[in-house]
Amino acid sequence: MMLTLAAVVGSGGLVLVEAFSYYGFRRLAGFLNVEVDCIEMDRDGALPDAFEDACRTRSPKALFLTPTIHNPTTLVMSLERRREIIDIARKYGVAIIEDDVYGALPHDAPPPIAALAPDICWFATGLAKCVSPGLKAGYLVAPSTSHAASVFERFQVTSTWHMSPLSSALADKWISGGTAKRILDAVRAEASGRQEIAREILAGSQYAAHPNGLHLWLTLPVQHDQDSFIDAAAKAGVILRPGSMFAFHPDRPVDAIRIVLGSPETREELRRALSAIRETAGA
C-alpha cells in the first residue's frame, strides 16, 4: 500500500476512500502527506454519483476500495456497481487501488476490479486473512510492467525492504504444492462455523455479515452509544474497538461496531464472548 500511494498519488495528491474504510490506509496516507477525502456509500459500496462528483470537483489521483467483504461493513460490491465505478474512473483518469485481502474467502464473489479493469487497477492482496498471518506475505499487481518498473525504480535506492526469504520460500511451496488451498478451505470452513455461532447467539440482533467472513458489523442497541457499549463489554471481559475508527468523519455518530469472530482461539471462547455481547446489548 505504501508503494502504491507514494507512486500513484504522491505527496500532496488526493486519494478517495469510502465513508467507512480501513483506518490503517488513512494513517499510511497521512504519513506520506497524501490528502484523503471520502465519498458516500450505500449497501452496495461506493456511490457512483458521489465518485463522479468528486472526480469532477476534486481531481483525485486514486480511489481506494475493498469491494469484497468490505472492512468493516462486510458488503460485497455487485458486478454492476464495479463496472459503474470502473467507467467513471476511466472517464476521469483515476486509478483504483483494490484491497482484496479477503477476496479468496467467498465462494461466489464477483471478479476483482483488477480482472475487469487491469489497465487502471493496482491490486493488493496477501495471505494474512486466508492462509497465515505469520507468513507476512503480500502481493501487489500493477496495471502494467512499466507501472511496476516505475515503482521499483523509485524505491530501489532508498529501501531494501523485502519479506523474509524463508517466508517467501514457504509461501511459494505452499501455493504451488496445494497446502495453501487446503488451509484456505479450512479457514473458510472455520469462518462459516463461527458465523453460524453468531447467527445462533445474536438471533434478534441487527447486524451485517458474510457467510465466509471473519467479522460482522453489529448495529448498536438504542440504549448504547459507542463508548457505553465498549465499556459494558469490557466489564464482561470482551475487548472491542469503536466503529468510529473506520469512519472518515469520526465526529459523526456511528451506530455500529465491528465484531471480529476470528480473534477468540476456540469456538467455545467465541460463544462466551458473543453471549456477553448479547447480554450487553440487552442491558
Chain centroid to Cα 123, Å, comes to 13
pLDDT at 136: 82
pLDDT at residue 250 is higher than 90: no
Q: For domain 2-175, give the CATH number.
A: 3.40.640.10
Q: How far apart are CA 112 and CA 117, in angstroms?
A: 9
C-alpha cell at 170: 514457504
Residues found in the chain: 283
Instruction: Kindly report the average pLDDT of the chain as a whole number.
Output: 93
Q: Does residue 130 have a pLDDT over 70?
A: yes
Which residue type is seen at 180? A
Give the per-residue pLDDT at 157: 63
Residue reference for cell 472518515: 248
Strands 256-260 and 215-219: antiparallel
More confidently predicted of 1 and 262: 262
How far is residue 179 from each of residues 130, 131, 165, 173, 263, measured CA to CA in Å? 12, 9, 18, 8, 23
DSSP letter at 243? G
- Please tell me the predicted confidence (pLDDT) of residue 137: 84
180-282: CATH topology: Aspartate Aminotransferase, domain 1 (3.90.1150)
Q: What is the pLDDT of residues 17-46, one digit of tens each?
A: 999 999 999 999 999 999 999 999 999 999
The most distant pair of C-alpha atoms in the chain lies apart, rounded to whole Å, by: 58
- Give per-residue pLDDT as tens, 47-93: 999 999 999 999 999 999 999 999 999 999 999 999 999 999 999 99
| Full-model pTM | 0.92
pLDDT digits (tens, 9 = 90+) for 138-183: 889 999 999 888 888 777 666 656 778 888 999 999 999 999 999 9
Q: What is the pLDDT of residue 161?
A: 64
Residues of the chain with CATH 3.90.1150.10: 180-282
Count of C-beta atoms within a 10 Å radius of residue 206? 13
- DSSP helix/strand/coil, 247: strand
Residues of the chain with CATH 3.40.640.10: 2-175
Is residue 82 a contact partner of residue 116, using CB atoms and an 8 Å limit? yes
